[in-house]
Structure 1
Amino acid sequence: MGILLEHIPLAYGSRVLLHDVSTSIPDGSLTALIGRNGTGKSTLLRTIAGLSEAASGKIVLCSRPLDQMTPLQRASTVSFVTTDKVRIANLACEDVVALGRAPYTNWIGRMQETDSEIVARALELVGMSSFAHKTMDRMSDGECQRILIARALAQDTPVILLDEPTAFLDLPNRYELASLLRRLAHDEGKCIFFSTHDLDVALGLCDSVALIDTPELHCLPAPQMALSGHIERLFAGAGISFDPETLTIRLAKK
């Protein structure tokens, strides 16, 4: 099992975001995390990554409790791609991707031939081999996001978390990036969990969808989530309707 959450609560100050969450996300699957703004999507991902601490409960990654892992074990188990725009002017893309090898290099960070091969393969998997010697300051948002995903692949972790990887991308690039994540999950056996506001991407390309309906988290296979009624409740009162058969969102008629 890639990710196992047992009785996890999340709060922001005195505000309860999630209460007693228990769910699992298997290896070799792509799972989308959806919910309205401010409901704790980023907080949940950061907590699973070990960057924030849950008040109670247990998080298990690849059969190992997160709180019992050393920093090195954690770095070789889970990688995290944030939603921040990264522009590193003086570092070639292959060097950015090589940062993912940090948990495996010696104390001075020297790369071995095997590390260089892993970096090259990570660039190839995301279709960015031709960008190896280019710098990110002159690349599009979609290209930069692919480089950051390649860095996570070079880190060679069984669990990959991404916070809104399709943000700031146009529609074709959103589908292309989500399709890439789907391929990586299925072909490389990764457990990939990412937050998104793209409901069509979540329901059309993902194996499962986790929906935050404060203070609950519902996690279902994508076809079941579309028919569950949870999405309709998510939009209740917002003047928006959802058609589960066509997976389309419309403004409600006045």
Structure 2
Amino acid sequence: MGITLRRLTLSYGSRILLDRVSADLPDSALTALLGRNGTGKSTLLRAIAGLGPSASGSIRLCGRELHGLTQRQRARTVGFVATDKVRIANLTCEEVVALGRAPYTDWIGRLSGGDREIVRHALRLTGMESFAAKTMDTLSDGECQRIMIARALAQDTPVILLDEPTAFLDLPNRYELCTLLRRLAREQHKCILFSTHELDIALSLCDGVALIDPPALHHLPTSEMILSGHIERLFAGGGIRFDPASRSVRPLKE
């Protein structure tokens, strides 16, 4: 099992975001994390990555308790791609991807021949091999996201988390990026969890959906989530309705 949550409670200041939630996110699967703004998607991702505290409960990665892992063990278990735009002018794409090998290199960060091959393989998997010598300030937003995913792949972790990876992309690039994530999850046997507001992409490309409905977290296979009624409740009162048949949201008619 990739990610296991047991009776996990998360808070933001004095506000409880999630209260004693449990879920099992499997390997070789792409899972979308849905929820309204401010309901704790980023907070949950950061907690799973070990970058933010949890009030109580348990987070296990690949069967091991998160808080029992050393910093190096954690870096070899979970990779995290933030939502920020990244523009590193003085590093080539290959050098940026090579940063993912930091948990495996010696104290001066020297890459072995094996490390370099892993970096090249990560670039090939993301379709960015021909960009290796370019700097990231010359790339489009979609290309930059692929490089950051390649860096996470070079980190060689069984769990990869992404916070709004499609936020700055146009519609074709959103589908292309999420199709890549699905292929990587299945072919590289990764547990990939990403937050998104793209309901149509989540329901058409993902194996499962984790939906935050504070203080609850509902996690189901996509086909079951569509029929569960949870999505309808998510949009209740928002002036739109969810149509399970077409897997789309539509404005309510006046």
Offset of 1:174 from its aligned partner? 0.5
Aligned to 2:20, the other structure's residue is in SS state strand
What is the aligned partner in structure 1 of residue 219 from structure 2? 219
What is the aligned partner in structure 2 of residue 50 from structure 1? 50
2-structure distance, mates of 1:70, 1:214: 31
What is the aligned partner in structure 1 of residue 173 from structure 2? 173
What is the aligned partner in structure 2 of residue 26 from structure 1? 26
Aligned to 2:11, the other structure's residue is in SS state strand
Q: Are 1:4 and 2:4 counterparts?
A: yes
What is the aligned partner in structure 1 of residue 69 from structure 2? 69
AA of the residue aligned to 1:156: D
2-structure distance, mates of 1:21, 1:199: 22
Q: What do the CA deviations read for 1:184-223 (whole angstroms, capped 9, x no partner)?
A: 0000000000000000111100000000011100000001
Offset of 1:249 from its aligned partner? 1.0
Offset of 1:138 from its aligned partner? 1.4
What is the aligned partner in structure 1 of residue 81 from structure 2? 81
What is the aligned partner in structure 2 of residue 120 from structure 1? 120
Aligned to 1:152, the other structure's residue is in SS state helix
What is the aligned partner in structure 2 of residue 184 from structure 1? 184
Offset of 1:53 from its aligned partner? 1.2
AA of the residue aligned to 1:3: I
AA of the residue aligned to 1:116: R
AA of the residue aligned to 1:98: A
How many pairs does the alignment contain?
254
AA of the residue aligned to 2:127: G
Offset of 1:93 from its aligned partner? 0.1
2-structure distance, mates of 1:12, 1:59: 18
2-structure distance, mates of 1:17, 1:241: 24
What is the aligned partner in structure 2 of residue 204 from structure 1? 204
What is the aligned partner in structure 2 of residue 16 from structure 1? 16
1-structure distance, mates of 2:173, 2:227: 27
Calculate percent identity across the aligned residue pairs. 70
2-structure distance, mates of 1:218, 1:161: 18
Offset of 1:86 from its aligned partner? 0.3
AA of the residue aligned to 2:166: T
Aligned to 1:168, the other structure's residue is in SS state coil
Aligned to 1:83, the other structure's residue is in SS state coil
Q: Output the aligned Cα RMSD.
A: 0.5
Q: Are 1:136 and 2:139 counterparts?
A: no
What is the aligned partner in structure 1 of residue 100 from structure 2? 100
Offset of 1:25 from its aligned partner? 0.3
AA of the residue aligned to 1:65: E
Offset of 1:88 from its aligned partner? 0.3
AA of the residue aligned to 2:46: R
Q: What do the CA deviations read for 1:55-99 (whole angstroms, capped 9, x no partner)?
A: 111110011100000000000000000000000001000000000
1-structure distance, mates of 2:238, 2:60: 36
AA of the residue aligned to 1:168: F
TM-score (normalised: structure 1): 0.99
2-structure distance, mates of 1:242, 1:7: 29
1-structure distance, mates of 2:104, 2:242: 47
2-structure distance, mates of 1:66, 1:246: 39
Offset of 1:226 from its aligned partner? 0.8
Offset of 1:234 from its aligned partner? 0.5
AA of the residue aligned to 2:107: W
